[in-house]
Amino acid sequence: MWPYASRGSRFMGEVNEISPSTLEAEDFITNAVSIKLWLPEKLVAAIDVLCEQHDASRPDVLRWILFEHVFGRLELTHLKRRMSARLKLELQDLADAARQPLSDYLRAVLARHLLAERFFREWQATLAKANAEAARHESDTVVAR
């Protein structure tokens, strides 16, 4: 929410009546799966800031961000701080659709969510340049043999 809002909501009534959750709560009760992920120091620092502000652990903050990425902010308000096998499956489907390994996809999601869009775009450009350089080096090595 915008921190400098000068007035509250104009909606009077029960929000859950006009926008009920479409998710089954039972799908998110247990956190039975894990995702191994390396994060750059800048992302860890951003996550730590959110941990401090929301009095939450890193896993809770990551669940929150990834849940919001997959299901949306509105669903997050209905169902907070749980990670389930379903969330991991949905994340894997999104990574597969993007033709990326899960860890690469999640790093990009977290960078885009936690850092400025400009930083994300610069990071993507630098990554593409490094990958092109590595591919060129690899093809030079094959030709030299």
Structural domain containing residue 141 = 117-145
Residue 6 in domain: no
- Judge if 46 and 93 occupy the same domain: yes
- Judge if 109 and 140 occupy the same domain: no
Task: For residue 66, give the nearest of 78, 51, 52, 81 by alpha carbon.
Answer: 81
- Judge if 65 and 124 occupy the same domain: no
List Cα–Cα distances, 90 to 7, 8, 54, 100, 114, in angstroms.
37, 34, 25, 14, 20
Predicted local confidence at residue 22, as pLDDT:
66
Question: Where does residue 16 rank: exposed (0-12), middle (13-18), buried (19+ CB within 10 A)?
Answer: exposed
Q: What is the CATH number of the domain that holds 108?
A: 1.10.1220
- Judge if 52 and 107 occupy the same domain: yes
Q: What is the pLDDT along the chain (145 residues), one digit of tens a residue?
A: 556 566 666 656 665 566 666 676 666 767 778 888 888 898 899 999 999 988 889 988 888 888 888 888 777 766 643 446 778 888 899 999 999 998 888 888 888 888 777 887 888 898 889 888 888 887 776 555 5
- Structurally, the chain folds into a number of domains equal to 2
